[in-house]
Chain A
C-alpha cells in the first residue's frame, strides 16, 4: 500500500456523509452490503464501476456532516485505494484512520490538471501524487497514523498493545 495506482473519481467541495452514504441505507451493518451504496448520494454508478485501488479525489471539507462511520466503511469495502482531498472533516478523518482507509490531505490539489477516469499514482510514504501529467508533494501522514492504517485499522494493534497502539 506504499504506492497506490488507480483511476480517478473526482468530486467537489463539501462532499458530506449523506452523499457518501445516504441515510436511507444506514440500518445496514454488514460491511460488504454497505459497500454497495458507496457514494450513492452523489454518483449512483460509483459502487458498480469502482475498481480496487481507484482513488477518490475531493475538494475542501470532504466527509462533513453526520458522524456515520458507514461513509468510511463503504469506501474501504468498495476497495477504494485512497481518498485525496484539500481538507477533511475531522470525524471522517478519525474514522478513516480507525478503519484503515488511506486519507491524504493535499491543500495544493489545484496545481494538478485532474480528469475523471485517468490513471494516477499516489506515493503515500514519500508524499507524492502524480496525475494529469503533473506531480505535487504533500506532507506524509504521521508515523503513528500510518502504522494504524497499514495494520488495516486500529483493531489488531489495539488487541495487541492496548492504548499504546496510538503511539
Chain B
C-alpha cells in the first residue's frame, strides 16, 4: 500500500484500501476560509445544529482580509458570530495569514493527518506527509456536522526529480517545468508524489511549493515522504513526532515520470494558462507589477531570496513591487532577519498577510493592458483583475530580478 492509502485506511477503520475504493474517513483537521459563507448556509440547510469537533475546526480570514468591501465585511461578521455560537476557538482573523500556512503553524498538521480545507491549494500540506485535500462548501458543511467525509481513493503518480538546481533556480521553476511537460489535466482524480534527490535536498518550504502547485495539474492530493527536514521544520510549531506510515516497497504507481532538473533555467508560465511554460522569454516584456506572496510564494525562504537579490538595489521606475508575507509569523521572522527593511528600502510595498491580489479581490488587482509577474499559482484570464491583464507565473528569485530590471528576467541574468 501507499502511505496515503495507509493513512486513509486508518482513518476509516479498515485494514487496507486501494485505488477506486470509496471510504468514509474521519477528518483530523478541517478549515473554512472567508470566501465561503456558503459553508454556513449549507450547514443549516443540511440540518446542522452543532459542530462535531469544534476543537479541530478552523476558520481563517485570508482571501479578502481586512475586508475590502461591505459584502466581505458582512461575511466576516457573520462568520465571527457563527464561530461564537458554535464554540469554535480557532478563528484566525484578519492578518493571521493564508490558511495552509496558518494551519501548519498552529501545530495541527503533520505526517498521517487527514486535512480538509475549502481551498484547492490544501495539497500544500501533503509536503508534510499528511493526506490533504480541498473541497467545496457543502462537503465542508458535512464534515462540520459529522466529522467525516467520503473519499474515493486515487491512483498515485510518482514524479521523480533528480539533479542539483542552479543558482537562482527554485522549486517553483521545477514545478512549472513539470506542469509544462505533463499539462494541467495530467493528474485529474489522482494523487501526485514527489520523490528523488532534488526533493530530498530541498528545504521544507520549497517542498511545499511542489505540493501546492500539484493542484494545477488537477491533483486530488500531493505527497512527499516525511524525513528529518520535515520533522525539524514542524517541531518549531509544536509538532511531536509519532509513528510515520510509509509506502510499501512493492507499491505500483499509476505512472512514474522522471525529470533531470540540473541545468534547468528559470521558468515562466505565460499568460492564460499554467501549462504554457518556457524559459524566461528573451524579448523585453515590461512588467507593471511584481507580486511576491501567497501560499505558493510568500514564505520566509521566498522573502529571503528576494531580499538577498534586492539588497542594495532599487525597484525599477514604473514597476510596482507588492510583497505580502504568507502569515503574521512569516512577517515577524522576516522583520527579525532584516528582509522587510531591505525590501522596503528597495521600494517594495507591503500589505497584510493573506492571499493578496492572487484571486483579484484586493491589494493590487490588475488593470486592462497591464502585465504582472507573480509568485502565485494561477494565470487564468481575469484571475488577478481585468481579463485584459497578462499574468506571468514565476519564482520569487525571478520576481525579485524582474522588480529590479522592470522587465521579465531571471536572477541568473543580473
**B124 interface residue (CB < 8 Å to A):** no
Contact (Cβ within 8 A) A64 B185? yes
Interface string of A147-167 (1 = CB under 8 A from B): 000000111001100110010
Interface string of B28-66 (1 = CB under 8 A from A): 000000011110011001110000000000000001100
**B150 interface residue (CB < 8 Å to A):** yes
**B189 interface residue (CB < 8 Å to A):** yes
Nearest B residue to A154 via CB reads: B138
Contact (Cβ within 8 A) B75 A27? yes
**A70 interface residue (CB < 8 Å to B):** yes
Please name all residues of chain A whose beta carbon is closer than 8 Å to the beta carbon of B405 when the two chains form the complex.
none
Nearest B residue to A25 via CB reads: B71
Query: Residue B188 contacts which of A19, A28, A29, A61 (CB distance < 8 angstroms)?
Result: A61
**B118 interface residue (CB < 8 Å to A):** yes
Query: Residue A67 contacts which of B74, B136, B380 (CB distance < 8 angstroms)?
Result: B136
Interface residues of B in 338-369 (CB under 8 A from A): 359-361
Question: How far is B217's CA from A87's CA once the two chains are assembled, in angstroms?
Answer: 13
Task: Given A16-B380, A67-B136, verify A61-B36 contact (CB < 8 Å).
Answer: no
Task: Given A67-B136, A163-B24, A163-B148, verify A41-B185 contact (CB < 8 Å).
Answer: no
Interface string of A12-46 (1 = CB under 8 A from B): 01101011001110111100000000000110000
Please name all residues of chain A whose beta carbon is closer than 8 Å to the beta carbon of B120 when the two chains form the complex.
65-67, 91
Query: Residue A41 contacts which of B41, B136, B137, B381 (CB distance < 8 angstroms)?
Result: B381
Contact (Cβ within 8 A) B118 A67? yes
Question: How far is B118's CA from A49's CA once the two chains are assembled, in angstroms?
Answer: 31
Task: Given A23-B383, A24-B361, verify A64-B218 contact (CB < 8 Å).
Answer: yes
> Interface on chain B toward A: helix, strand, loop, or mixed SS?
loop
Say how far B273's CB is from chain A's closest CB, in angstroms: 7
Please name all residues of chain A whose beta carbon is closer than 8 Å to the beta carbon of B361 when the two chains form the complex.
23-24, 26
Please name all residues of chain A whose beta carbon is closer than 8 Å to the beta carbon of B135 when the two chains form the complex.
67, 91, 94
Contact (Cβ within 8 A) A61 B184? yes
Interface string of B242-263 (1 = CB under 8 A from A): 0000000000000000000000
Contact (Cβ within 8 A) A66 B185? no
Say how far B99's CB is from chain A's closest CB, in angstroms: 11
Question: How far is B48's CA from A159's CA once the two chains are assembled, in angstroms?
Answer: 9
Say how far A26's CB is from chain B's closest CB, in angstroms: 5
Contact (Cβ within 8 A) B138 A41? no
Say how far B269's CB is from chain A's closest CB, in angstroms: 13
Contact (Cβ within 8 A) A29 B383? no
**A146 interface residue (CB < 8 Å to B):** no
Say how far A87's CB is from chain B's closest CB, in angstroms: 6
Question: How far is B63's CA from A42's CA once the two chains are assembled, in angstroms?
Answer: 23
Chain B residues within 8 Å of chain A by Cβ, number: 47
Task: Given A69-B38, A91-B134, A95-B138, verify A14-B387 contact (CB < 8 Å).
Answer: no
**B142 interface residue (CB < 8 Å to A):** yes
Contact (Cβ within 8 A) A18 B138? no
**A60 interface residue (CB < 8 Å to B):** yes
Query: Residue B35 contacts which of A18, A68, A166 (CB distance < 8 angstroms)?
Result: A68
**B332 interface residue (CB < 8 Å to A):** no
Please name all residues of chain B whose beta carbon is closer than 8 Å to the beta carbon of A22 when the two chains form the complex.
360, 382
Contact (Cβ within 8 A) B189 A90? yes
Say how far B389's CB is from chain A's closest CB, in angstroms: 12
Task: Given A23-B361, A27-B75, verify A14-B36 contact (CB < 8 Å).
Answer: no
In this complex, the member of A27, A41, A155, A158 whose beta carbon has the largest number of chain B beta carbons within 10 angstroms is A27
Say how far A143's CB is from chain B's closest CB, in angstroms: 13
Task: Given A23-B361, A91-B120, verify A65-B218 contact (CB < 8 Å).
Answer: no
**B83 interface residue (CB < 8 Å to A):** no
Contact (Cβ within 8 A) B38 A61? no
Contact (Cβ within 8 A) B378 A90? no
Contact (Cβ within 8 A) A98 B185? no
In the assembled complex, 30 residue pairs joining A and B whose CB atoms fall closer than 8 Å, in A order, are A18-B380, A18-B382, A19-B380, A19-B381, A23-B359, A23-B383, A24-B361, A26-B359, A27-B74, A29-B37, A29-B41, A61-B218, A64-B185, A65-B380, A69-B36, A72-B136, A87-B188, A88-B188, A89-B188, A89-B218, A91-B134, A91-B136, A94-B139, A95-B136, A154-B46, A155-B42, A155-B45, A158-B47, A159-B47, A163-B24
Query: Using a CB–CB distance below 8 Å, which chain A residues touch chain B?
Result: 13-14, 16, 18-19, 22-24, 26-29, 41-42, 60-61, 64-70, 72-73, 87-91, 94-95, 98-99, 153-155, 158-159, 162-163, 166
List 6 other contacts, CB 8 Å, given A27-B35, A88-B188. A16-B378, A23-B382, A24-B361, A26-B35, A94-B139, A154-B138
Question: Which 10 residue pairs across A and B have the least CB separation, nearest first?
Answer: A27-B71, A95-B136, A98-B138, A61-B185, A69-B136, A23-B359, A159-B47, A69-B137, A23-B360, A67-B120
